[in-house]
A and B are shown apart, each in its own frame.
Chain A
């Protein structure tokens, strides 16, 4: 078959393994396309053409030697908070703007081992803190479906790259929704596995008890292939799960018969604008038509998710980001004494959102406030997890909106708290460590733009195969993703 930038990861891998195409040809095709469109999109902070060509040549050699590679020749976009040896890893921050990673993260390495070709490193909200990519200190990323709008965040660069056909798989990290929300905004499958399924070794830490790596792709099958390659225990991450993995790419279903899907009472669609509400009502009906039984479930603490998250995540971030002190790596701003050097380096190196979160986290952990804020939030987190445990006694999956609105205009949310509200539907699953994904479920018109909408599906711990299997049944029946194409200015 003939491959193009429209090909899925599964199609590319099949063709390369069958030697109908070479990884080198595919890489050149994608690099040309990136050159033509990324000026308008801004998905990549850096394109690693030389590295991509060398890796592609190696993939061709491995396939030539008889190796079967599940992701042979698949172009990969790597979020720039994941280490790839010899390349810069900036986290979208001035403080790491010139830092070169001395090792490769486990998740990236596993995708390379599976045959992926890294095209470049993608933009993100600084240290993955944000929901629009606008908190990056190093560049602007635009939504390929409406260039005056955000791609979502924090994994906005990887989402934009895959949506604009500048890669077939994008790597994201999700702390409170940073894979699922950009997935929804960019017409993609955005999949956050169970906490601990994918090693965090080499992922620059934001909130360690929440951070999880996952793929952004244009099909559920591609998400399953990427997850199967990335997941599994890693001795370098003591929180990575050491338990059996079920292959998901072979568990994809074409109906939902016998499945009970919970609809969350507290996530009433009445809160949403009419077009979005209509898209979700239609999605719930489609789930039923595929054979699922919809059941009413309650998550009484869902409305406390944002408050809980915005204490726990900043607390962990303030501890994790203490390492950026100008001593061992990254930016250093000179001063007469060491405290002055720390304070000036961090003042110059961190952007406003990072400073806000470090400050709130420091406050929540400080003497006299620790019990009132941090401990109370960790107790609320227990209640959120218990709510899900009760709900999953009555259902196999939970369906909900992924976001409360479609992609918004660049600059539209200047108040930090209005941005925090973007994670309303995704945070509870993060707090409970559950696997969840966003899958395209329709389109809404706003002005001259036609914007994608994402349905969130969530499963119990470790039930990735059930989750992806059901998402596949929904995707192949409804086929929403293919109805509209990105609007890109192509530079010749």
Chain B
């Protein structure tokens, strides 16, 4: 079960840029962890359902009515860059 992780590819999926030193170090550490978790391969789980809820399982809904929540100004003020009623981010589309 244990595999060598392509750390740079996984970091791209996770949206974290890594230095070469981090790629090396995390690669070794994550590889070691995968060797430890490979022990799970010894368990016979063929007929075991995966856990979804550990305590109780029920659907949770509420009435579709609006209730007070954080006001827009408070939420916008938390953003690193806001512009009027918007959150400002760098360019998303390239030409």
Q: Spell out A's residues near B (CB within 8 Å).
A: 99-100, 102-103, 194-196, 209, 235, 238-239, 241, 301, 303-304, 306-308, 310-311, 318, 322, 325-332, 334-344, 346-347, 350, 352, 355-356, 358-360, 362-363, 366, 372-373, 375-383, 385, 416-417, 420, 431-433, 461
Contact = CB atoms under 8 A, between A and B. Distances in A.
B48 to A, nearest CB: 4
B90 A433 contact: no
Nearest to A347: B17
Given A195-B54, A337-B91, A363-B5, A346 B40 contact: no
Contact of B87 (A103, A235, A301, A327): A327
B67 to A, nearest CB: 9
B14 A359 contact: yes
B70 interface: yes
A99 B17 CA distance: 23
Given A304-B39, A337-B94, A416-B29, A366 B15 contact: no
Given A196-B55, A328-B87, A355 B22 contact: yes
A420 B18 CA distance: 23
A102 B16 contact: no
B54 A342 contact: no
Contacts of B16: 343, 346-347, 350, 355, 358-359
A306 B92 CA distance: 40
A103 B71 CA distance: 11
Contacts of A362: 10, 13-14
Contacts of A366: 10, 13
Interface in B44-93: 45, 48-56, 60, 62, 70, 74-75, 78-81, 87, 89-92
A375 B50 contact: yes
Nearest to B61: A238
A356 B10 contact: no
A362 B91 CA distance: 26
Please classify how large the interface on chain B is, using the bins under 10, 10 to 19, 20 to 34, 35 or more: 35 or more
Quick one: which of A322, A341, A375 has the most chain B CB within 10 A? Answer: A341
Contacts of A385: 51, 54
A325 B15 contact: yes
Contacts, number: 159
B40 A343 contact: no
A466 B55 CA distance: 18
Contact of B43 (A238, A301, A306, A350): A301
Chief secondary structure at chain A's binding surface: helix
B7 A359 contact: yes
Given A327-B89, A342-B15, 19 more contacts: A102-B74, A239-B60, A301-B43, A304-B43, A307-B39, A327-B79, A338-B91, A338-B92, A355-B22, A356-B29, A358-B16, A362-B10, A373-B1, A376-B43, A379-B43, A380-B43, A381-B50, A417-B29, A420-B33
A360 B33 CA distance: 9
B90 A382 contact: no
A343 B8 CA distance: 12
Given A327-B79, A332-B80, A338-B89, A381 B15 contact: no
Given A307-B40, A330-B80, A356-B26, A381 B13 contact: no
13 contacts: A301-B43, A303-B39, A310-B36, A328-B75, A336-B91, A337-B90, A341-B89, A346-B14, A346-B16, A359-B5, A379-B51, A385-B51, A431-B54
Nearest to B12: A343
A355 B26 contact: yes
B89 A209 contact: no
Contacts of B5: 359, 363
Contacts of B52: 378
Contact of B33 (A310, A334, A341, A376): A310
Interface string B1-39: 100010100110111111000100010011011001111
